[in-house]
Amino acid sequence: MEQASARSNRASWPVVVVALLFAISALAMVLKDGGDDAPTRPSAAPVQQAKLKTLPLSSTMTTIKAAPKDPRPTKTPKGTVVHPQRMTALYDEPDGKPFAKVGPKQFGDAWFPVVTRNRDWVQVLLPSRPNGSTGWIRSADLIEAHSPYVVRVHLGARSLELIEDGELVGTWTVAVGASGTPTPVGRTFVLGQIVDDKQPFSPVILPLGSHSDTLDSYGGGPGTVALHGWTDPSVFGQAVSHGCVRVPDDALALLRTVPIGTPVIVDEA
């Protein structure tokens, strides 16, 4: 995905199968993205390999309490996504303290949405708990690309919107989390794509970079929230899931074409 268009690379993205939270169990370069630029300071020395090995890995399976919180959880990112070329340190601020690391793989190639940047650093959303976790990465350690899409989920309306280049592609009535297991609000992103034709309720599952706020685990997995289909259309328009968003087949067919790293914004509206 070396700075190629999102459309031409979708078919090459790998998929794997893991246990997640389900209801039953690249691209074009940009120069600036999201929020105000952070002040530019002299670049600190990279973390040495010995130190890097001691840092916890940010993934859907882990909790990184030291991660900075998303500073603008309702703001729409501008579409920049980044891919670590190797295991890379995460910092609490530009030239700050390393607190964790990310690698080039999560569900296949890992791409993370940029929410803030300066000349030498980008702040990205992370896939680890707690929800809304972020980290700063040196731009030199990353491949950068662009997704033209944004997915919006409105919990009150129980609807999902797919937006491309600022234009509405479609709106669908969906099922969201029940009152005891709500779908978490805020900014997250498409973390990967799972294709499993033997799955009884959805052959395609899109895990997100967020987790249930009420379930520490589910179905053997870490409580990861996902977008996926459902066999019974009567659930659409209801709050009945364990936190995942159940979508109609035609919505799922389009959602599976969006690039990994595409922002997903969940609100109460």
Active site residues: 228, 244
User: Tell me, what DSSP letter sits at residue 3?
Assistant: T
**Residue indicated by tokens 């969006």:** 258
Q: Is 211 exposed, middle or buried (0-12, 13-18, 19+ CB in 10 A)?
A: buried
Count the neighbouring beta carbons within 10 Å of the beta carbon of residue 119. Answer: 12
Kind of pairing between the strands at 194-195 and 224-228: unpaired
CA distances (Å), origin 116, targets 33, 70, 78, 122, 204: 6, 10, 10, 6, 31
One-letter amino acid of 28: A
Beta strand extents in 15-166 (DSSP E only): 80-84, 88-91, 98-102, 105-106, 108-109, 112-117, 121-125, 134-138, 142-146, 149-154, 159-164
User: Tell me, what DSSP letter sits at residue 177?
Assistant: E
Identify how many contiguous H helices and E strands the chain contains and give both numbers.
3, 20
Sign of CA dihedral 17, 111, 259, 9: negative
